[in-house]
Amino acid sequence: MNNILDPGMQYIKLCRTYILITSSILLSACATMPGQYNKPIQSHYPKHRYNQEYDSAPRHMVDVSLIRNAIPKIEPTILKYNPPSYYVNGQRYHVLKNNTGYHATGIASWYGTKFQNYLTSSGEKYDMFKMTAASKTLRIPCYARVTNLENGHRVIVKVNDRGPFKQDRILDLSYVAAKKLNILQKGTGLVEVSVLTPQVAKTASTKTIQLPKNTKPRIYLQLGAYSESAHATIVEHDAQKAVNTVPSHVYRQRRGKELLYLVRIGPIPTVAAADIITSKLKAAHLPTPMTVIEETMR
């Protein structure tokens, strides 16, 4: 049985190349023939696309209580906005085949005046005063409920753009969506993202939820989910060498009939610390981590 995350398996294979005499032959045999839609799309932006060098909030105050949540509706997903994969800044991103059942936790950021009135990846103009968001991998357009795991605030946004292109960010929120979630000042927030269909949205609550008083959301970086414990052990050992300031562990998790071995680093105290650790893992050529937020005892 193969491991679940391709980057992790690629890392294991790289570790073993010194004994694989025929590796170049095997790699060439695995190459796929280029097709009409499996060729990644390279993103090309003019060097001076934006008038502002740095992003910011608008100068005037906005009463976000007057701005309503996005209302989910059925919209077609156009192929040119949803290629199987695409490149930005040399990094390849894979778009989901469908958004059904999408539910994830991670770090959200926001974007504002720098991008105001520029076209989004779905062809609409970006409006920081509307309830929208950007995702690297969700099919667009779609709708999602976003919950701030640090204060329980909830919003519904229309996901109509691509980004944020910082590796450990899960979502980029519009200015007003970020303000409603109360993450403007910090710049980032720990969130839960759930894609909504129009049917599900009818019963999806956006009321602030009461968070348990004795727990706190914590950041973990997951470097893979493996079907073989030996693979997980190799990755965990190398991760500990690369990052010796935060503990790393191998966790056993059963998913259906499969027993998986998850490699995680954490808990990590802050988003800034997670960014530093991510950079160290990249420098050590370890698998690209996925950010996971879990509730732990205070």
Helix 271-283 and helix 229-242, axial crossing angle in degrees, nearest 10: 110
Residue 172 CA, chain-centre distance (Å), reads 9
Cα–Cα distance list, 1 to 10, 94, 196, 238 (Å): 15, 23, 32, 23
Question: Residue 226 pLDDT more than 70?
Answer: yes
Q: What's residue 7's pLDDT?
A: 54
Measure the CA–CA gap between 236 and 248, rounded to whole angstroms. 6
Mean pLDDT computed over 11-29: 42
User: Which range is least confidently modeled, 32-41, 246-255, 263-272?
Assistant: 32-41
Question: Residue 1 pLDDT more than 70?
Answer: no
Question: Residue 186 pLDDT more than 70?
Answer: yes
Q: What's residue 102's pLDDT?
A: 95
Query: Do residues 5 and 227 lie in contact, with contact meaning Cβ atoms separated by under 8 Å?
Result: no
Q: What's residue 237's pLDDT?
A: 96
Question: Residue 3 pLDDT more than 80?
Answer: no
**pLDDT tens across 259-286, in order?**
999 999 999 999 999 999 999 999 999 9
Q: What's residue 84's pLDDT?
A: 96
What secondary structure, in 3-state letters, does the chain show?
Answer: CCCCCHHHHHHHHHHCHHHCCCHHHHHHHCCCCCCCCCCCEECCCCCCCCCCCCCCCCCCCCCHHHCCCCCCCCCCCCHHHCCCEEEECCEEEECCCCCCCCEEEEEEEEECHHHCCCECCCCCECCCCCCEEECCCCCCCEEEEEEECCCCCEEEEEEEECCCCCCCEEEEEEHHHHHHHCCCCCCCEEEEEEEECHHHHCCCCCCCCCCCCCEEEEEEEEEEEECCHHHHHHHHHHHHHHCCCCCEEEEEEEECCEEEEEEEEEEECCHHHHHHHHHHHHHCCCCCCEEEEEEEEC
**pLDDT tens across 114-144, in order?**
989 889 999 999 999 999 999 999 999 999 9
Question: Residue 44 pLDDT more than 70?
Answer: no
Which top CATH class is 64-201? mainly beta
Q: What's residue 36's pLDDT?
A: 35
Q: What's residue 230's pLDDT?
A: 96
Question: Residue 193 pLDDT more than 50?
Answer: yes
Q: Over pLDDT 90: what percentage of the chain?
A: 62
Q: Which CATH superfamily is domain 215-297 in?
A: Sporulation related repeat (3.30.70.1070)
Question: Which amino acid appears at position 100 of this protein?
Answer: T
The boundaries of every CATH 3.30.70.1070 domain in the chain are 215-297
User: Which range is least confidently modeled, 54-68, 165-179, 235-249?
Assistant: 54-68
The boundaries of every CATH 2.40.40.10 domain in the chain are 64-201
Task: Tell me: cis bond preceding 247? Omega within 30 of 0 counts.
Answer: no
Mean pLDDT computed over 88-114: 93
